[in-house]
Structure 1
Amino acid sequence: MKKGYIFISFILLILAGAFIAFHIYRNIIPMSPYDTGNSAGNLHNYGLVFEMGDKVYFANPYDSNCLYSMDPDGTHSKRLTNMGVKYISGANGILYFYMDSSNTSGKVTGLGSATNQYGVYRYNTKTGDLKCLAREMCGEVQLCGEYLYYQVKTDGGYLEKIKVNKTDKKVVYDEMASPVCYDNGIIFYSGVTKDHSIHMLYTQNGDYTRDFLTGYYFFPVVKNGYIYFMNGESNYSLWRASLLTGIPELVTSDRIDFYTIDDRYIYYAYSSETNPALKRCNLDGSDPVVLYNGIVNSLNTTSRELYFKVYGNDEMMYHMPLDGSRPAEMFLPQ
């Protein structure tokens, strides 16, 4: 009888240890100083679409912008949150985004529909665990190595960061600087209140800053050794400068409202009183073509598709292949 009791106790001890080990493993958040989230171009356009692994994650306009996943071809869509999200980013199977209850899924009833939540959240795509990392009224969010940098809108606005495992939260900068243009440990951002030049924030060396490019510039995006930006001193045309020389050069003289960039093309909302359009050009500005006629916004790309919205209809999204081989059509996740 005593031997049986000892054996049962031994088995229970093993099971308890296995449960504790599983719980610890389940809650380990993978992180690396080399992690980068969504592209700067997508995040300048609210970060509504993000591709990670074999899935595309998106804010579904047909369901109050709740977070959904789908296959890259638009099939097998699945709702992941009950509230609206934006600035979707992530790495290593973990998603990060801003979520708030100002938009709640109409498919949820009862207590789940009567919540007042907001902040920067983390979602584990393997376990389905959802956790609030920072209860703040936030703007843009970006994954920069082991930290999330995000704009806080209260108290005049400032830039804050928190480690992805919910430690080491601190204020970084006293302006609501945009953190989305992150490249090799450096955030390139436009000044907000003191000037509108482009500055560099060194995230892996104590968050110190230095000036990079003096001017009236907005929405920086780093691609292939250049930094692209909208030039407010030149009718909001698109320019770029070499990261080595800092010498600006014109990319397109078109007035631009929004733009995003992939490895081959620049996609932009051409601002015109008579012929507004969604246009595409090469990275040096050559070979411009019209992809869609109308006033567009919210330009987001994946490895296969360009997604966008049309002014005045925020509850609908369009998409088309990146190469323009098929005309734009309504995006209807299946």
Structure 2
Amino acid sequence: MKKKIPFIVVLLAIIGFIIYTNLTYRIEYNQDSALGNTSGNLLNTGLFCEDDNKIYFANHLDNDSLYVMDTDCTNFKKIYSNTVSYINAEGKYIFYNRENRKTESQVKSIFAVNTVGLYRIIKSGKQLTSLYEGHVLSASLLGNYIYYDHYDDKTGLSLHRIKLDQTDDTRLISQSITPNGFSGSDLYYCGTENDHYIYKMNQETLATDIVYKGNCGSLLVQDRYIYYLNLDEDYHIWRIQTDGTNEMEVVDEGCSTYNISLSGKYLYYQVDAGGNSRFCRMNLETGESETILAGIFTSIHVTSNYIFFREYDTNKTFMIPAGDSNEVSVFEPPVLN
């Protein structure tokens, strides 16, 4: 004769399962001031993101899949096999742009999952959730909203924001904007259609004001400064204060991309000068600059311990210690299952 399981045991098991499910799937919100990545990293497509003593990154040796490592570049773990960019990590979640390369068999399959879009995943690699299924040019996190450059056939390119719980998807600006320039509750950005002025939008009121009338691109916000490429000055790096005053030239050579250390002391930048192209570092306190490596490099990313950058033609990734060291090494993370 089979023993019957006591009703109280079944009831407790059900209650335990409900509590576990609620805790596991409950949305956890951020503080309103939380930022998902640095302004400079997002300017460089957000392939590295440091949060809570971990670095989340796109592994260039594994089709830019999502990985995590310690800040000293040890203890690697693969989180998810997606081709990722614009990584934003904060609190419980990682947010990113997925741009998987669809194979011919996937194109023909009725079971093929969407290969592009804006996604949320728990840092453990569980509960992958689609926030938007479509092409996303760039994305960033402020508080509990993801700001992203949205594209569809009807409206074209425009800046949207969506809450991390998949609600309140709203179009903010009917232009293609890289939303990487947050300072407090203000988003600074360069116009892309009628002019290239620097604007700011308050994220509480959504009011927009002109900050600086210039021909500007590739904006980066660091502390009280806005850095940008001056398009009238052959893409030299300039800066102004966040109130639009005190304009000054920082780098007097044509540059393609740049980033600033977390301390705000060092500017890392790529000079485009034909046979004299090179990756450089400037001490912003003294104005002294030096060449780190000759060649053409992109995707400059800063973390607390290291600076990462990619060679343009080969996608090979290099790293140097943060600070004044010139010790260049190749970043070769493992490829994991």
- Give the TM-score, by structure 2 length: 0.89
The CA deviation at 1:150 is 0.1
The CA deviation at 1:246 is 2.2
Question: Could you say which residue in structure 2 is the equivalent of 1:274?
Answer: 275
In structure 1, the gaps of 5 or more residues are 105-110
Give the conservation status (yes or no) of the 8 Å contact 1:64–1:103. no
Question: Could you say which residue in structure 2 is the equivalent of 1:107?
Answer: none
Question: Could you say which residue in structure 1 is the equivalent of 2:40?
Answer: 41
C-alpha separation in 2, matches of 1:284 and 1:176: 34
The CA deviation at 1:52 is 1.1
Q: 1:276 to 1:54 in 2, by over 3 A?
A: same
Find the residue that maps to 1:41 and give its secondary structure: helix
Question: Would you say how many aligned residue pairs link Structure 1 and Structure 2?
Answer: 321
Question: Could you say which residue in structure 2 is the equivalent of 1:331?
Answer: 331
Q: 1:172 to 1:285 in 2, by over 3 A?
A: farther
Q: 1:182 to 1:285 in 2, by over 3 A?
A: farther
Q: 1:208 to 1:269 in 2, by over 3 A?
A: same
C-alpha separation in 2, matches of 1:53 and 1:226: 25
The CA deviation at 1:283 is 2.8
Find the residue that maps to 1:97 and give its secondary structure: strand
Residues 74-95 of structure 1, C-alpha deviations (whole Å, 9 max, x = no match): 2222221212000001211311
Q: Is the aligned partner of 1:187 residue 2:187?
A: yes
Q: Is the aligned partner of 1:21 residue 2:22?
A: no
Q: 1:103 to 1:40 in 2, by over 3 A?
A: farther
C-alpha separation in 2, matches of 1:131 and 1:116: 12
Q: Which residue identity is paired with 2:305?
A: R
The CA deviation at 1:285 is 6.9
Give the conservation status (yes or no) of the 8 Å contact 2:278–2:297. yes
C-alpha separation in 2, matches of 1:166 and 1:14: 32
Find the residue that maps to 1:274 and give its secondary structure: helix
The equivalences for 1:1-334 within 5 A come to 8-31=6-29, 32-102=31-101, 115-126=113-124, 128-155=126-153, 156-205=156-205, 207-244=206-243, 246-262=245-261, 263=263, 264-283=265-284, 286-314=287-315, 316-334=316-334
Moved more, 181-190 or 16-25: 16-25
The CA deviation at 1:59 is 0.6
Find the residue that maps to 1:194 and give its secondary structure: coil
The CA deviation at 1:324 is 4.2
The CA deviation at 1:213 is 0.8
Identity of matched residues, %: 27
Q: 1:311 to 1:327 in 2, by over 3 A?
A: same
What CA RMSD, in Å, does the superposition of the two structures yield over aligned residues? 2.1
Give the conservation status (yes or no) of the 8 Å contact 2:39–2:222. no
Give the conservation status (yes or no) of the 8 Å contact 1:67–1:79. yes
Give the conservation status (yes or no) of the 8 Å contact 2:79–2:124. no
Q: 1:285 to 1:260 in 2, by over 3 A?
A: farther
Q: Which residue identity is paired with 1:209?
A: T
C-alpha separation in 1, matches of 2:309 and 2:33: 29
- Give the TM-score, by structure 1 length: 0.90
The CA deviation at 1:115 is 4.5
In structure 2, the gaps of 5 or more residues are 104-108
